[in-house]
Amino acid sequence: MESPAQEKQIRLVGRLVGDLFAVDAYYVQNNRLLMTLRYRYQRQQSLKLLEDRLKLAGYEFSLQPDEETVLLNLKPRRRLKIPRINIVLFFVTLISVYFIPVFWLNLDAPTISEAFRETLADLGRGQGIEFTLAMISILLVHEMGHFVASRRRGIITSWPYFLPAPNIIGTFGAVIKSKSPFWNRRDLIEVGSAGPIAGWIVAIFWLAYGLSQSQIVPISSISSPGLYMSLQGESILVKFLAPLFIGNLGPIDSYLFTEAAFAGWVGLLVTAINMLPIGQLDGGHVLYGLAPRKQAMLGWAAMAVLIVLGFQSRLWWVFAAFGLIFKVPHPPTLDDRREPSRTALVMAIVSLIILALSFTPVPFPA
């Protein structure tokens, strides 16, 4: 007779293998779970996917396959070990977010070598630290929101892969790879919305803090690249918060954002992009969970809006291209008939409100 804890562990492992194998038998022996599994689909692909899932889930296990069945010998207690590649990418991204944005601001120097020297001098004076802390914390909390929600619902995902980049913020963000299917629309909504909600809260903190330290300067005083902002083409939230924290702009003025304010602004932009109702984006997950029959139609409508907005900011053409590459329609879950829970519906509504408040029509003018 298994204990309640053992029964929970057996159910969790059963979900991980159930879409790939039929469970012929199982039993617990010396704190090990043994399962006899029968192939449902192609043999080698099923074994490889099962091995990837169990490794990502943190299980200690062995597989003994033959022609018809597989014996799975597994220790039910999991160890959440972060792979080395994820750690390396995190620290490389940390360096790129620290160095590259400051380097971009010095590109008006006569030569690249002079820009490099000025960048090192700025970093020595502490420039870039606040932006790095803010940007990394927003990305980390966003991705861990997905990670924790996935583990809670028995969906196996990788640890976050941070992506360094030679752009103005030093990163392409971070991604998580799913190695098991979404069981139903409730899980799809909870996992899809947990990241944007968590990251958005952190972005609001940094934005509010940064705005409280920002100032208004005359446009005539602007002589070098910097974090100068107007409210044209801005999100609803920034248009509301900037005058509240800093004051109203005069006809010849501009906002000079601090690094924290700029990181918060980027955090809102990234959150809104993730919430677009397209394919494998977070918004695609949420919208499919709410209305599976309408997601594809609304996803194509969002693509059309991005193409139109691209004439004002070419950034949107980039994301429209990504939408085409990764497909606009969202794939089904294993059980689309199960209705989302009340908690999932609340999370979906909150994430859609975040999209409405944070969407920036013209983030970087063409």
> Which CATH number covers residue 53?
3.30.1360.100
How many folded domains does the chain comprise?
Answer: 2
Cα three-residue angle 131-133-137, rounded to 5 degrees: 115
* 92 plus 192 within the same structural domain: yes
Q: Residues 6 or more apart from 3 whose CB is under 8 A from it?
A: none
Domain boundary among the residues 12, 46, 75 is at 75
* 57 plus 160 within the same structural domain: no
Question: Residue 236 falls within a domain, yes or no?
Answer: no
* 162 plus 108 within the same structural domain: yes
* 63 plus 121 within the same structural domain: no
* 190 plus 149 within the same structural domain: yes
Tokens 């990764």, residue located = 326
Residue-level pLDDT at 183: 87
Closest CA to 330 of 282, 271, 272: 282
Question: Residue 229 falls within a domain, yes or no?
Answer: no
Residue-level pLDDT at 166: 92
Kindly report whether the global pTM for this prediction surpasses the value 0.85.
yes
Q: Tell me the C-alpha distance between 258 and 332, whole Å.
A: 43
Q: Residues 6 or more apart from 346 whose CB is under 8 A from it?
A: none
Question: Residue 250 falls within a domain, yes or no?
Answer: no
Assigned token pair, 134: 């803010």
Assigned token pair, 333: 């879950």
* 134 plus 278 within the same structural domain: yes
* 51 plus 91 within the same structural domain: no
* 311 plus 175 within the same structural domain: yes
Residue-level pLDDT at 225: 67
Per-residue pLDDT of the chain (366 residues; tens, 9 = 90+): 566 766 777 778 888 888 888 888 888 877 788 888 888 888 888 888 888 888 888 888 888 888 888 888 888 777 778 889 999 999 999 999 999 999 988 888 888 899 889 889 989 989 999 999 999 999 999 999 999 999 888 888 889 999 999 998 999 999 998 888 888 999 999 999 999 999 999 999 999 999 999 998 888 777 666 777 777 789 999 999 999 999 888 888 888 899 999 999 999 999 999 999 998 899 999 999 999 999 999 999 999 999 999 999 998 999 899 888 888 999 999 889 999 999 999 999 999 999 999 999 998 876
Question: Residue 58 falls within a domain, yes or no?
Answer: yes
What is the Cα Rg of the chain in Å? 24
Closest CA to 333 of 192, 236, 174: 192
Distances in Å between the alpha carbon of 17 and those of 132, 150, 151, 179, 223?
40, 16, 15, 11, 62
* 70 plus 108 within the same structural domain: no
Question: Residue 215 falls within a domain, yes or no?
Answer: no
Question: Residue 234 falls within a domain, yes or no?
Answer: no
Distances in Å between the alpha carbon of 257 and those of 147, 178, 227, 245, 358?
32, 37, 5, 11, 17
* 68 plus 88 within the same structural domain: no
Residue-level pLDDT at 1: 53
State the residue range of the domain holding 149. Answer: 84-210+263-358
Domain boundary among the residues 21, 51, 75 is at 75
Residue-level pLDDT at 298: 94
* 205 plus 310 within the same structural domain: yes
User: End-to-end distance of the chain based on CA atoms, in angstroms?
Assistant: 67
Question: Residue 28 falls within a domain, yes or no?
Answer: yes
Neighbours of 308 (CB within 10 A): 12
Residue-level pLDDT at 356: 96
* 154 plus 24 within the same structural domain: no
Question: Residue 326 falls within a domain, yes or no?
Answer: yes
Tokens 């903190």, residue located = 205
Residue-level pLDDT at 3: 66
Q: Tell me the C-alpha distance between 222 and 173, whole Å.
A: 30
Domain boundary among the residues 57, 75, 93 is at 75
Distances in Å between the alpha carbon of 291 and those of 149, 191, 303, 337, 339?
21, 16, 18, 11, 10
Residue-level pLDDT at 34: 86
CA dihedral 188, 172, 299, 196 (to 10 degrees): 40
Residue-level pLDDT at 224: 66
